[in-house]
Structure 1
Amino acid sequence: MTVKKPTKPKNLSGPRRPTAPRADALPSREQLLAALAEQTDIKGKRDLAKVFGIRGDMRRPFKAMLAELEGEGVITRTRKALRRTAALPHVTVLDIPADADPEDMHAFPAQWNDEEGEKPRVTVLSGRDARVAPAPGDRILARIDAGDAEIPVYTAKAMKILDKPRRGQIGIVRMDDDGARLIPVDRKQKEMRIPLGDLLTAGDGDLVEVEVKLSGRLMIPRAKVVAVIGNPMSEGAVSLIAIHNLEIPYRFPASVIREADEASEIGLKGREDWRDVPLITIDPADAKDHDDAVYARPDTDPANKGGHIVIVAIADVAAYVRPGTALDREAYTRGNSVYFPDRVVPMLPERISNELCSLKEGVPRAALAVRMIIGADGKKRSHSFHRILMRSAAKLSYQQAQAAIDGKADEQTGPLLDPILRPLYAAYDAMAHARDHRGPLALDLPERKILLDDKGMVRDIHIPDRLEAHRLIEEMMIAANVAAAETLEQKKSALLYRVHDEPSSEKLQALRDFLGSLDIAIKKSDSVRASDFNGILAQSRKAGNVEQVSEMVLRSQAQAEYNADNYGHFGLNLDRYAHFTSPIRRYADLIVHRALIKALGLGDDGLSETELLHLPGIAQHISATERRAMRAERETADRLLAQFLATKIGARFEGRISGVTRSGLFVRLLETGADGFIPASSLGQDFYRYVEERQSMIGDRGGEKFTLGDRVTVRLLEAAPVAGALRFELLSEGERVNPSSVRRGNKRPPKSFGPKGRKKR
C-alpha cells in the first residue's frame, strides 16, 4: 500500500492532528504509533480516526490496521482506550521462570501493569565473560536493549542477582472468638487476621500458605489462604513446612515421570565388561539407592611393591539424563536431593535413582569407573577412567563391613573377608597415612540423627558411631574426586570445581582475639593452612577447652561452593577437587561426568557447548540450591526437636553455649543437640556487656562471665514447634572475672577473683 505525503494538519477541537494524510490514504504505522505515544488525550479508535481524518470507506481498512498492530503486540487496548504498548526501561528488574531452559533463558518484568497488555518476553544473554551468571528461578537487575525494530525485541544482560521475595507465607490457622488468625512459621513475621471468607477449607491447626493483603486506611495486613497444606502434627508434615516455606520442588512434572518410565536399561554396547570385577557397595543400612561401589587388590607390579589397585565405580547417570531433556531440566532446577528425617526429596525420579542407576547386588549396571594405582605410601601414582558395565558382588552396610574386619563376620561377610574386605582395608590404611601427612582440617564434629516413629514424631536422637568403614569410603571417594579434576584439567576441559576458600582476614582476626583470651596463639599471617588449625585443636584438647575452640574454628571457615574457577579446597588441603561420586543426588557430579565423557571420547552424551558456556551460572545456581537444602534440613530438625521437647516444659538440661550475641546466649543441649535461646535481660540483675573478642557476656558490676563453649545447666521455659524455637532459663553460675579489665578493653585474659554464690533456682 502506497502512503501519500501527509498534508499540513488543520486545527481541530479534540486531539491534535499531527500529520494528516490525504483523504484517500491511511496513515503509516509510524504515524499511528507516534500519535499514540505523543498525545495522551487520545482515548480510543474514534479519537484516533479524528486525528487522521478517517471516514467513509477508509474506516474498514483503518480498523483492520489497528487490529493488526494489536495482534502483533505493538499497541494494546484497555477497556475503551488504545495506547502504545509500554516499553521496558533501560534498567529493570526481571524474573527468570524456574522452568526456563538454561541454554536459552528468558525472563519477564517483575512488575507489570496488566492494562499494558501481556508481559514482554526478554531473552537473557550470557557468555564466558559475563560478570553475573543468572539461573532459572533467579530475580535479576538487568540492562535492557529493545533493538531497532518497530516491535521491541528485548534482550537483557544481568547486572546483579537480587533476593526474590516469597510469593506467600506459611503459617498455622488458629480459630478464636473473633474468627481466625495466622501464626506464621517464620519467627520474624507477625500474626495476622484471616477473614472467614478467605479460609478456603482450612480449619483450626491446619498448615496453610497465604498471600498478604493490606486493607483499610491504616493498611493493616490481612492473610488470604491460597493453599491448605495439611495438619503440621500429622505424619510427614513437619518437613513439608520447610519444603513449602523455601519453595523446594517436590512433585515431578508429568513429562519428567514419563521420560523416566520410558527409560530402558543400558547394555554392554560401547562399554568395557567389568561384570567379573567383585565391586561392592557399602552404605547406611537404610539406604535405598546405591550409586558408588569400591574394590581393591594388591598391585602385582614389581615397580609398585606394597602398592594397591583401587577402583571406584559410580552409577552412569549421564547415560539416562541427557542435556536438554525434561529429566535434565528438572534435575538442574532442584540442584540436589534434600534429606529429611521423614522423607527424601530426590533430584531424580525413583525409576532413575532407585532402579536404573542403583548398583544393585547381582544386577548388571552401567557405571563410570576410575582405576587408581596407589603406592605403598598411600599416594596416588596414576589413574584412568573407564565407561563400564558392572555387577555388584555384595550390598553391605557400614556396620556389617566393620564388624567383619573386627572379627565378627556374618554369613554374608564371611566369604567376602579375605578376597574383598581385607584388601579394601589394606588399601585404605595406606591412603589414610597419606591423608594424615597431607593434613586436612581435622574438625570432626558429631552429627546427631533423629529417628521418627510411625506417626512422624521423634522416637530417638543419637550420635551414630563413626566407624573406619565410613572413613574408608570417604577417603576413596575423595581420591576419585581428585582424579576427576586432574583428568579434566589435563584435557584442558572446563569443569565445575568444588572449592573452599581460606578464612577471611576478618574471621582470622576474630579467631586470634578469642584464642588470645585462652592463651592459645595462632600465627599472625593471613596465609594459614589447615594444619595450623589442627595444631590449635590439639592444644585445646590438652587444655580441656576443645569444644569452645572447635566452635570458633568452625565459624572462621568459609562456606564451600561450586565454581567454574579453581581456588582450591582449603579444608581438604587439596589444590584441585571436583564432585564426581554422587550424580544421583548432585547436579554438579552429573556435569563432571558429562565433562569426562566428552574429554575422553567415551560417548556422544557428554557436556554440550552450550553447557560449557553456562558453567558459571550453573555453579551459582547449584550452590544456591545446596544452601537451600541445608537450611531446610536444619529448620526441620529444629522443629522436630522443639516438638519433642514441648512435653518437657520446666525440665532441666545440660548444654553448652553455642553462640554469644548482644541480645543473649544460644545454648545447645548435650543430649539432643536442640538449640535454644536465653535473652540477655534474663541472665541476672547485672548489666551484661557483650565482649566480641572473647565471645563472652560479662556482668558490668559482678564480673560474671559466660563464654562460647561453656557448659551450663538450663531450664526449658517455652517450646514453639512450628517455629522450631526454644527458650531457656539459665541456672548455672558463670566464671567471675575483674569487670574493670573488660571495660578498659583489655584483650588479655582477665584475672579471676573466685566464684561467687548465685541464688539457687
Structure 2
Amino acid sequence: MSFPDKQTVLDYIRDHPNATTKQDIARGLKVKGRDRATLREILKELEQDGTLERTGKRAWAQADRPPPTGVVQFTHQDENGDLIGKAVGDNGPFGPDIIYTGLSGKPRGKVTEPGEGDRALCKIKLVDGVWQARALTVLEKRLSNSIVGLYSQGPRGGKVTPSNRKERREFLIQEADRNGAEDGDLVITVPKPQARRQYGPNLGIVREVIGHIDDPRSASLLAIHAHDIPVEFPEAALEQARDPKPAKAEREDLTQIPLITIDPHDARDHDDAVFAEQLDDGWRVIVAIADVAAYVTENSPLDREALKRGNSTYFPDRVVPMLPFELSADECSLREGELRRCMAVEMIFDKSGTKRSHRFIRGMMKSAAKLSYQEAQAAIDGKPGGKAGEMLEDVLKPLWGAYAAVARARDKRSPLDLDLPERRIIFSEDGEIEGIITKERLEAHRLIEEFMIQANVAAAETLEKQKSPLVYRVHDVPSDAKIAAFAEFLQTIDMKWHVGERPQTEKFNRLLKDIQDGDYAQMVTQMVLRTQAQAIYSEENLGHFGLNLVRYAHFTSPIRRYADLIVHRALIAALNLGPDGLSKDMSVRLEEIAEHISGTERRSMAAEREATDRYLAIFLADRVGAEFEGRITGVTGAGLFVALAGSGADGFIPISSISDDYWVLDDAAMQIYARGSGKTYGLGQIVKVRLKEVTPLQGGLLLEMLSEPMPAPKGRREARSKTDADRPSRRGAPGRIKSKQSGKPKFSKKTLPKHKRRGRKK
C-alpha cells in the first residue's frame, strides 16, 4: 500500500486510542520496511506542531486526548458533587475535564481514594462522550490534610466531627492534644504523627479554635476555613491601603457630568456610576468605574494579596474582600459629592440600541447621587422621593430611555434567558436568622446589568483592536455530550431537539418560552441550566455563549475581581493612559493567572453555597417533623434532592426510604421508577415532604417523601420494559437502584451535592 498521509495517521490514533506506540500504529496501518522511517518523520512533525504529545519514549497521543492509562490531577468538585480533574502531561494538566468514577479493579486492603488537589494514576476512557477515570493508586496527596469540624468532649477524651459531609475521617483527640478546645468549639485539626502505622481510630491534634457552634456566624467561619479563603491582610498591604499613593496620570474632567451610583440599599462600596443623555439620532451613555489600578500597582503588597485571593467572597452575613475596606470603601468608592479617580467608557448608541462607537477615558468624577435600586425604580414608576425625585427628569428618565433602546438590541441578540430567583437570608442585629426572602428583580437591576455588559464588550473590543493581551470572560458552547443528553431527555417528554445543529441561545429561549406555563417548565429549565458549560477566565477567546457575544471581558468591578484589574491595566497600557499599565512580565503570565482566578472563583462559589446551606439548616432546625411543599431538583442513584418552597433549602430523600418498591434510575428522563408498576418521581415534580433530620454542622436536611409517585409516562413504558427485561434479576434490599449509567449507588459519596441551580455567574 502507499504510505498514508498525516490525516490518516491522526484518524487512526483518534479511532484507536489504545494504539499509542509507533509499533502499534505501524501494525494497525500495515506499514512495513522503509515506510516505517516515513511514519517516524510524520509522528515527529505532528509532535513538533503540537498535534500529538509524547507520552513515552516511543509513544504518542493526541495533544488534547488523555492517554488510556495516565496521571490525573483532580482539581475540584462540580455542581453535582463529582470529582473533576485533567490528565497530566510533560507541560502540566491538559485536555478535557475527566470525571472520577471510583477505584479500578478490586482493591486489596485499605486503599485511599483521591480528593481535591490529589494526583492519581488512573485508567481513562471515553464513555458516551464523557471522559471517566478509575484510580489505580494515589500518587500525591494534597498538601493540607487538616479537617475543620466540631469538637465534642466525652468521658474518654475528645472527638472532632468533620463539617464537610464528604469527609469520612473523624479524629479522636487525646487530652494533651486538645489545646484548650471545649465542647462545642469549631476547630482545625491535623493528623497526629505516629511512629508506625497503627490500625484503629485516627488520632488528631487541635491546631486552632476558630469559633463556637452556637455563634450565629459559625456557618461562614466553617466555610472560610474549610476552603482556605484568606481573611487577614498582611500588614504591608494594610499600610498601602491606609496611605494610598495613586499613580500620576493625565485625566479628563468629568465632574460636571451627573454620574450616579445605583446599588443595593446596604452597599458599603460603590464601584460603578452611570449617565445617559439623548442625542438627535440616539443615546450617549457613560459608565464610570473606580480607578483601582491607580492604587493597586503591579507586584505591590496589595497586588500580591489581591491576586492570591482572586476575588471577593460573599457570604449571607459578611464579605471577605479582595481588597481591604480601607481602600475599597474609601478612595476606591465613588461616594456622593466626593472627588474620585475613575476609568470610564463613553458609548454612542443609535435609536435601535446598536453601539456605533466608544472611547475610554481616564478621568476625575464626582458622583451626583447615591441611589438604591428601589429608590430609582420607585421614581420611574411614579413615586419619586428624596434625591431620586430631584434626579428624575434630568438623570433617571434619560437613563431609562437609553436602556429601552439598548434592551431592544439585547432582545434581538437573544442572550440565554434564565432569570432564576435568588433568595436572601435576613439577620437580626445580633446575628440571628430572622427570615428568608426572594430577592426582588427590578428593571433597575436589568438596566445596570446591561450597561455593565456593554462596557465589558467595549473593553474587549478595544484591547483586541490594539492587539493587547487580555483575560477574557468566556462561556463555551455546550458540549456535544451534554447536548445529546439534553436531546434524549426532551424525547422522554415528547419534545424534539436536533442534535446535529449548532447550539444557539435563541433556540433555548424559544423552547423555554414554549413550555413556560406547562407541566414541564421547571424540569426543562433545570435541564437547560445543566446543559451549559461553566463560565471561566481565559487568555484565549472562546466567546460568551450565554450572553451570545463574540468577545467579552470583565471591566466593571476591579474592587472585587482581579480579572477586571488586569483589563484596566491593559487598557491603560494600550491607550497610553498612564505609567501604571499592564507590564510585559505580567502579560506573559496571563494564561497562568486566568487559570488561578478561575479556581479562586470556584472556591468562593463552593464556600458561599456551603455557608448558605448551613444557615438554612440552622433556620429549619426547630422545624423537624414539619411538612413542606418542595420541588425535585435532582435525581441520582442514591436518592432524590428536593428544594423546599419558601426557603429554597435543599434536602435529600434516600432511595431506600421511599417505599418497598425496587426503584430504577432512568438517566435520560431524569426520573426514578418503580419496577413493575412504572410509577415515577422525576425532575421538576412538586411533592410534599416531611423534615426528618437536620445536621446544621454539615448543612444537611434529611427528608421523608409523602407524595405518591406519578403514573408511568406513556412515552417511556416500552423503553423501560426493555431495560427491565435486559436487567438480570438480583436479590437485594427494596429501594436499591441500579442502572448502566448510574453504577452502584454510594450514599456516602453522593449525599447532598449542590443542586441549588442558581444562574451561573457572567
Q: Contact 1:522–1:532 (CA<8 Å) still a contact in 2?
A: no
Structure 1 residue 286 and structure 2 residue 261: aligned?
A: no
Q: CA deviation at 1:166?
A: 2.7
Contact 2:424–2:439 under 8 Å retained in 1: yes
Q: Distance in 2 between matches of 1:252 and 1:617?
A: 23
Q: Would the alpha carbon gap of residues 393 and 176 (structure 1) be closer, same or farther in structure 2, given more than 3 Å must change?
A: same
Partners in 1 of 2:237 and 2:719 — Cα distance?
62
Q: 2:204 aligns with which of 220, 223, 245?
A: 223
Superposition deviation, residue 527 in structure 1: 1.4
* Contact map agreement 2:165 2:698 (CA 8 A) in 1: yes
Show the counterpart of 2:636: 661
8 Å contact from structure 1 (residues 457, 640) kept in 2: no
Q: Equivalences for 1:44-193 in 2 at 5 Å?
A: 164-188=142-166, 189-193=168-172
Map of 1:244 onto structure 2: 225
CA distance in 2, matches of 1:736, 1:295: 56
Whether contact under 8 Å (1:315, 1:368) holds in the other structure is: yes
Indicate the residue corresponding to 2:63 in structure 1.
Answer: none
Report the 3-state secondary structure (helix = DSSP H, G, I; strand = E; otherwise coil) of the residue aligned with 1:689: strand
Give the aligned partner of residue 253 of structure 1. Answer: 234
> What letter is aligned with 1:195?
Q
For each residue in 1:334-377, what CA deviation from the matched residue of structure 2 results, as whole angstroms up to 9, or x when unmatched? 00000111110000011210000000000000000000001100
Q: Distance in 2 between matches of 1:527 and 1:637?
A: 37
Report the 3-state secondary structure (helix = DSSP H, G, I; strand = E; otherwise coil) of the residue aligned with 1:541: coil
Alignment of 1:579-590 (within 5 A): 579-590=554-565
Query: Equivalent residue for 1:570?
Result: 545
Query: Cα deviations across residues 595-646 of structure 1 (Å, max 9, x unaligned)?
Result: 0000000000000001100000000000000000000100000000011111
Query: Could you tell me how far apart the structure 1 residues matched to 2:423 and 2:354 are?
Result: 33
Identical residues among aligned pairs (%): 49
2:317 aligns with 342
Q: How does 1:441-520 map to 2 (within 5 A)?
A: 441-520=416-495
1:651 match: 626
Q: Which residue of 2 aligns with 1:95?
A: none
Aligned equivalents of 1:737, 1:746: Cα separation in 2:
14
CA distance in 1, matches of 2:299, 2:555: 21
Question: How far apart in 1 are the matches of 2:514 and 2:420?
Answer: 17
- Give, in whole Å, the separation in 1 of the partners of 2:444 and 2:247: 31
- Residue 535 of structure 2 corresponds to residue 560 of structure 1: yes
Q: Does 1:270 align with 2:250?
A: yes
8 Å CA contact retained: 2:169, 2:202: no
Judging changes above 3 Å, is the alpha-carbon distance between structure 1 residues 740 and 391 closer, same or farther for their aligned structure 2 residues? closer
| Aligned 1:20-31 pairs, distance under 5 A | none
Instruction: Show the counterpart of 2:106.
Output: none
Q: 1:440 touches 1:530 (CA, 8 Å); kept in 2? A: yes
Equivalent pair of 2:508/2:528 in contact (CA under 8 Å): yes
Pairing of 1:673-692 with structure 2 (within 5 A) = 673-692=648-667
From 720, 724, 729, the counterpart of 1:743: 720
Q: Establish whether residue 197 from structure 1 lines up as the match of residue 176 from structure 2.
A: yes
Please identify, of 312-321 and 505-514, the stretch whose mean Cα deviation from structure 2 is larger: 505-514
| C-alpha spacing 1:421/1:723, structure 2 compared with 1 (3 Å) | same
Confirm or deny: 8 A CA contact 1:214 1:220 kept in the other structure.
no
Structure-2 separation of matches of 1:174 and 1:286: 38
- Quote the Cα distance in structure 1 between the aligned partners of 2:253 and 2:379: 29
Where in structure 2 are there 5+ consecutive unaligned residues?
Answer: 1-55, 57-89, 95-115, 120-138, 725-762
Q: CA deviation at 1:191?
A: 2.8
Query: What residue identity is the alignment partner of 1:505?
Result: D
Give the residue type in structure 2 aligned to 1:338. T
User: Aligned partner of 2:279: which letter?
Assistant: D
Name the counterpart of 1:124.
none
Larger radius of gyration: 1
Deviations 1:286-332 (A, max 9, x none): 000000000000114xxxx2x00000000000000000100000000
Q: Give the superposed CA RMSD.
A: 2.1
| C-alpha deviation, 1:266, in angstroms | 7.3
User: Per the alignment, in what secondary structure is the counterpart of residue 507 of structure 1?
Assistant: helix
Q: 1:383 to 1:532 in 2, by over 3 A?
A: same
What is the match of residue 502 of structure 2?
Answer: 527
Return the alpha-carbon distance in structure 2 between the equivalents of residues 543 and 336 of structure 1.
40
2:283 to 301, 308, 311: 308
Match of 2:687 in 1: 712
Aligned AA for 2:718? S
Matched, 1:360 2:335: yes
> What is residue 731 of structure 2 aligned with on the other side?
none
Q: Secondary structure at the match of 2:690?
A: strand
Unpaired runs of 5+ in structure 1?
1-90, 92-128, 142-160, 748-761
2:668 paired residue number: 693
Q: For 2:516, what is the secondary structure of its paired residue?
A: helix
Shift of 1:543: 2.5
Q: What is the DSSP-based 3-state SS (H/G/I as helix, E as strand, rest coil) of the residue aligned with 2:541?
A: coil
1:396-446 CA distance string (max 9 Å, x none):
000000000000000211110010000000000000000000000001110
Residue 61 of structure 2 is matched in structure 1 by none
Aligned counterparts of 1:716 and 1:219: Cα–Cα separation in 2: 35
Q: How far apart, CA to CA, are the structure 2 residues paired with 1:285 and 1:558?
A: 33
* Structure 1 residues 210 and 486: CA distance shift in structure 2, 3 A: same
* Residue pair 2:247, 2:579 contacting (<8 A) in 1 also: no
The alignment partner of 1:408 has SS state of: coil
> Once the 2 structures are TM-superposed, how far is the Cα of residue 545 of structure 1 from its aligned partner?
1.9
Contact 1:265/1:356, CA 8 A, preserved across alignment: no
- TM-score, normalised with respect to structure 1: 0.75
CA contact (8 A) 1:457 1:644 kept: no
The residue type equivalent to 1:178 in the other structure is R
Preserved contact between residue 650 and residue 701 of structure 2 (Cα < 8 Å):
yes
When residues 616 and 363 of structure 1 are mapped into structure 2, their CA distance, relative to the original with a 3 A threshold, is same
Q: Distance in 1 between the 2:501 and 2:429 partners?
A: 52
1:457 Cα deviation from its structure 2 partner: 2.6
What's 1:601 paired with?
576
1:640 partnered with 2:612: no
Q: In the TM superposition, what whole-angstrom CA distance separates every residue of 1:457-492 from its partner, at most 9, and x where no partner exists?
A: 321111121100000000000000000000000000
Task: Tell me the secondary structure at the aligned position of residue 568 of structure 2.
Answer: helix
Please give the per-residue CA displacement for 1:687-720, whole angstroms capped at 9, x wherever unaligned: 0000100000100022220000000000000000
